[in-house]
């Protein structure tokens, strides 16, 4: 029996009076690109924080390649690369120094650190800029650097939380071309969130639509569109399953965070 890359079963988590996760269950197959879609406050980022072991769920279970995120935290972290929505690069450090810090965070063996740093900087075409302070980078370069940080431990599962937010169309296209190529060359599993429905449709083999802490629908983009009738778009699928009005609970903080990220990348 094959092991799924991600298995979530009845995940529940509450922040005060807000039920962020209300029985979330889904699976991600090894090697696929899977999208979590939904409005701000739907529970996408909370789900990702559970999977990367930054948040302990109050109920339910989550496994990464069969490893329990509660009981096997360090083992799970060795398999994961994570690019959060908030910027993780330090503008006061060079590109090289930023990636070096992540070799420490991921506990990459000391003897392998220099070769791993060189590998991911080359993969992201940042060799020539590696010695420059990150505050001199363009938005697209910053996101590529953060992707390098997330890849330095050679993860089997890459988790991307709205990685293209704030990027211009050229930088967005470049970022996703690199992710596709990585998946093709390594067989890496990719779990992502995005508010761009064209990205979800072009990139993801399957998507889950989240609303109010629950999974409202799951399937391949083409299947979800076909289920609502001919000529249906992914935007219409999104509105159908999540409602036309974005929830206000918990959304202000998310919007502010997104705007800060977009402003720094712009």
Contacts 24+ apart (CB under 8 A), 114-120: 116/152, 116/153, 116/154, 117/152, 119/152, 120/148, 120/149, 120/151, 120/152
| 94-134 tens-digit pLDDT | 999 999 999 998 889 999 999 999 999 999 999 999 999 99
Least confident span in 96-110, 159-173, 178-192: 159-173
Name the nearest CA neighbour of 22 among 55, 54, 46, 56: 46
Domain that holds residue 123: 6-265
Q: Are 245 and 238 in contact (CB under 8 A)?
A: no
CA dihedral 192, 193, 195, 200 (to 10 degrees): 40
pTM: 0.88
192 vs 183: CA distance, rounded Å: 13
What is the number of structural domains in the chain?
Answer: 1
Evaluate whether residue 259 is within a structural domain: yes
Evaluate whether residue 190 is within a structural domain: yes
- Here the tokens at position 266 are 């712009």
Q: Are strands 33-37 and 189-193 parallel, antiparallel or unpaired?
A: parallel
CA dihedral 198, 202, 205, 208 (to 10 degrees): -10
Kindly give, in sequence order, each residue whose CB lies less than 8 Å from that of residue 79, ignoring residues fewer than 6 positions away: 64, 65, 67, 155, 156, 157
Evaluate whether residue 45 is within a structural domain: yes
Evaluate whether residue 100 is within a structural domain: yes
Evaluate whether residue 1 is within a structural domain: no
Residue 261 pLDDT level (bands cut at 50, 70, 90): low
Evaluate whether residue 198 is within a structural domain: yes
| 218-251 tens-digit pLDDT | 999 999 999 999 999 999 999 999 985 444 344 4
CA 53-158-18 angle, 5° bins: 45
Residue 256 pLDDT: 46
The helix-helix angle for 169-186 and 139-151 (nearest 10°) equals: 20
CATH of the domain at 103: 3.40.50.300
Residue 57 pLDDT: 92
Residue 75 pLDDT: 92
Please provide the DSSP assignment of 112-140 as one string. GHHHHHHHHHHHTT-TTTTTSBGGGS-HH
Kindly give, in sequence order, each residue whose CB lies less than 8 Å from that of residue 165, ignoring residues fewer than 6 positions away: 85, 195, 258, 261, 262, 265
């Amino acid at each position: 029996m094959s092991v799924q890359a991600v298995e979530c079963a009845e995940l529940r988590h509450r922040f005060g009076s807000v039920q962020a996760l209300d029985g979330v269950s889904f699976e991600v197959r090894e090697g696929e690109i899977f999208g979590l879609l939904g409005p701000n406050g739907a529970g996408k980022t909370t789900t990702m924080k559970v999977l990367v072991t930054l948040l302990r769920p109050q109920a339910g279970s989550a496994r990464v390649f069969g490893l329990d995120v509660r009981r096997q935290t360090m083992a799970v972290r060795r398999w994961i690369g994570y690019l959060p929505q908030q910027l993780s690069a330090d503008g006061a450090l060079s590109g090289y120094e930023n990636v070096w810090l992540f070799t420490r965070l991921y506990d990459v063996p000391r003897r392998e650190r220099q070769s791993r740093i060189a590998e991911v900087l080359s993969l992201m075409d940042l060799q020539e800029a590696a010695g420059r302070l990150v505050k001199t980078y363009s938005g697209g370069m910053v996101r590529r650097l953060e992707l390098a940080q997330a890849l330095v431990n050679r993860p089997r599962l890459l988790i991307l939380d709205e990685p293209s937010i704030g990027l211009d169309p050229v930088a967005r296209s470049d970022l996703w071309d690199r992710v596709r190529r990585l998946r093709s060359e390594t067989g890496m599993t990719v779990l992502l969130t995005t508010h761009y429905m064209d990205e979800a449709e072009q990139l993801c083999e399957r998507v889950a639509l989240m609303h109010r802490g629950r999974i409202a629908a799951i399937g391949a983009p083409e299947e979800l569109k076909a289920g609502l009738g001919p000529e249906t778009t992914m935007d219409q699928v999104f509105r159908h399953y999540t409602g036309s009005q974005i929830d206000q609970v918990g959304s202000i903080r998310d919007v502010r965070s997104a705007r800060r990220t977009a402003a720094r990348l712009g």
